Structure 1
Amino acid sequence: MSKHEHQHQSHQDIIKRLKRAEGHLRSIVTMMEEGRACADIAQQLHAVEKAVCQAKRTLIQDHLDHCLEHAVGAVAQGERASLDEFKQITKYL
């Protein structure tokens, strides 16, 4: 498997989001080391958590849209509906 075999258009955006979350997480550690209020820290942790969850959701949906479509190929209309339903429900991850 090559390094770029599973690279999709959304991956660069996901990388940027994760790098921002990484920097944000480092600033939260600093906040804790400085003894900042727990409510402030919790709020910032919540923001990082949401960013990481959104990155995960985007990655999974991108995978389904590209890799699963490629693997399944052309399918009958009835089977296509099942695939579309599966892709739709992943939005709730």
Structure 2
Amino acid sequence: MDHPHAAIARRLKRANGHLETIIEMIEGNRPCAQIAQQLQAVESAIESAKKALIHDHISHSLERSFETAGAKGRAALRDFKLIAKYL
């Protein structure tokens, strides 16, 4: 079985490889607009990985804690998941 965060690790490894390519672009004096575009892509990938990690934590780790609190806990978890979409 895969580690629970294996997909996130793969995403970050791809972003890391992309970042290395960007460093080469900088060292190769590529146009700033091209570099900025690629940096934006890496930034988005990292942001996406962070959100996936947070949502995974909410769905798995916190869910167990809230479930033991009964109906009030489930309602609180539902509200928390709803607001967490805006992270």
Superposition TM-score, scaled by structure 1 size: 0.83
Structure 1: tracts of 5 or more residues without a match: 1-6
Instruction: Name the structure 2 match of 1:19.
Output: 13
The alignment status of 1:55 with 2:49, answered yes or no, reads: yes
Instruction: Name the structure 2 match of 1:76.
Output: 70
Rate the CA distance shift 1:72–1:78 in 2: closer, same or farther, 3 A. Answer: closer
Deviation string, structure 1 residues 3-22 (Cα, Å, up to 9, x no partner): xxxx52xx111011000000
Which protein has the bigger helix share?
2
Q: Percent identity at matched positions?
A: 51
Tell me the CA shift for residue 41 of structure 1: 0.4
Tell me the CA shift for residue 92 of structure 1: 1.3
Question: Pairwise mapping of residues 30-45 of structure 1 onto structure 2 (< 5 A)?
Answer: 30-45=24-39
In 2: Cα distance, 1:79 partner to 1:59 partner? 22
In 2: Cα distance, 1:40 partner to 1:54 partner? 21
Superposition TM-score, scaled by structure 2 size: 0.88
Secondary structure at 1:25's aligned position in 2? helix
Backbone CA RMSD of aligned residues: 1.3
Tell me the CA shift for residue 77 of structure 1: 2.5
Note if contact 2:22-2:35 (Cα within 8 Å) is conserved in structure 1.
yes
The alignment status of 1:87 with 2:84, answered yes or no, reads: no
